[in-house]
Structure 1
């Protein structure tokens, strides 16, 4: 019989697996790769971010990150320019075209955003509050452990 810990881990894994199914579907339907989609989702709330920080946030290998960013820049969804005073660092900014593209993805019927919204609407306000509180508690603990072990960034 599974321990409570195993059940919780399996629960997180099942949610993540099912979300990735819709992320892949959404990415394919919109002509982007999953890494490109992850990059857009990571930058969207901030509007801009350095490529280094983006790599830390997405955990994408440098070559995958670079290739995905190149494709997004070529499509006109991201703007890339050197950080002033640091020729080696690149600043990535979501373009107007990129913002419009993301709004389209968010409204897409059957896409991850619509499906996830429908799923969360089945929860009560109290369930959402408890879920967010629990996730924050677990995230905070895991981030502290990663920092202690020298293995991670937020």
Structure 2
């Protein structure tokens, strides 16, 4: 979290804004609803953070063509530049993880990926199980 907090502050972002930007960037575009499901922050924080990113010109918000009530969030050109700047800056979490991953052998990397997928699957099952229990 210290890496994230430091990087966010250095670029004039709040931690939630940083999280949203880092989630939107690889996807290029994502609905606000889906983004909220991924980052798991309160809706009010999500809305405020999205508003701040839109006002700063880092993302654009467009209605989803088939569902005018839903908003599509798209990384702007300015947002792409910010994302690339953050991703390439020395000392950020991105660079630290990148340098660690570059030390792994191909087998270690494949095992690491397999472990991450296992964790993601377990978390997804846990989340959907809790979601079903809460909706009952």
Q: Same fold (TM over 0.5)?
A: yes
Structure showing greater Rg? 1
State yes or no: 1:117 paired with 2:93.
no
Distance in structure 2 (CA, Å) of the matches to 1:112 and 1:145: 27
CA-atom RMSD in angstroms: 1.7
Q: CA deviation at 1:104?
A: 0.7
Look up the match of 1:80. 61
State yes or no: 1:66 paired with 2:47.
yes
Distance in structure 1 (CA, Å) of the matches to 2:132 and 2:29: 25
Distance in structure 1 (CA, Å) of the matches to 2:109 and 2:11: 30
Q: Which runs of 5+ in 1 are unaligned?
A: 1-19
Q: CA deviation at 1:81?
A: 1.6
Look up the match of 2:111. 130
SS in 1 for 2:27: coil
What is the count of residue pairs matched by the alignment?
A: 133
Q: Which runs of 5+ in 2 are unaligned?
A: none
TM-score, structure 2 as length reference: 0.89
Look up the match of 1:99. 80
Q: CA deviation at 1:151?
A: 5.6
Distance in structure 2 (CA, Å) of the matches to 1:29 and 1:51: 25
Distance in structure 1 (CA, Å) of the matches to 2:9 and 2:132: 32
State yes or no: 1:32 paired with 2:44.
no
Distance in structure 2 (CA, Å) of the matches to 1:22 and 1:146: 27
